[in-house]
Amino acid sequence: MDYMSTLYMYTKIANNMLDIGESQYAVRRPEIDESAMVSKLFCKIIETSFSMFNAEMLNAYKANWGVEDIGKRIQHRNDLLMVVWEQDKPIGIVSGGKPEGGVGTIIWLLVAEEYRNASIGVELFKHAISHYRELGCHKLKLTVPSERAKRFYERNGMVIEGFHPNHWWNCDFWSLAFAIT
């Protein structure tokens, strides 16, 4: 990688724009008429990236990400749902629940395969921290079903709080947390 490429390999979110290298992406909550695109991205990513999930798991998770479900979430605005867009195409999602007892929960942080290793996931994670910080949370938590995801979150400051063998649908999960300051 040459000097100029290295120089521009920083990331930032400003005014809902994400600059990575020479590319720029929008980061925003989707509009209701974009629900189908977000649903399609979610389904594609979990079908192709979660080999540890059996068909029952995939169907259960996808059932909560239908077009109507996403539309309701967009309308009610009571949870975290942000999407990274390359022009008019969704390429990443961070989704989380309403805080409970000062703790925010990331449910999904997903990036389309062809956009991985470009810091988009890192920026979505930072966005989630900022979101929950603004809501007054002192902690952020999540669970992950793979070593790769666990390592990603550890590199980004999360600590393991537990390991849950044979957890949801008999799949192993790690629970991780991040102290929001």
pLDDT tens digits along 9-55: 333 444 577 777 677 899 999 999 999 999 999 999 999 999 999 99
- Enter the tokens of residue 162: 């537990």
| Residue 145 and residue 171 in contact, taking contact as beta carbons nearer than 8 Å | yes
Residue that the structure tokens 């942000």 belong to:
82
Number of domains in the chain: 1
Q: Does the global pTM surpass 0.85?
A: yes
CATH number of the domain bearing residue 53: 3.40.630.30
High-pLDDT (> 90) share of the chain, %: 82
Q: What is the pLDDT of residue 23?
A: 78
Q: What is the pLDDT of residue 78?
A: 83
* Mean pLDDT, the chain, integer: 90
The average pLDDT across 151-167 equals 97
Q: What is the pLDDT of residue 70?
A: 96
- Full domain range(s) for residue 175: 3-179
The torsion of the CA quartet 155, 96, 77, 67, rounded to 10 degrees, works out to 110
In this model, does residue 98 exceed pLDDT 60?
A: yes
Q: What is the pLDDT of residue 10?
A: 33
| Residue 84 and residue 92 in contact, taking contact as beta carbons nearer than 8 Å | yes
| Residue 164 and residue 49 in contact, taking contact as beta carbons nearer than 8 Å | no
In this model, does residue 147 exceed pLDDT 70?
A: yes
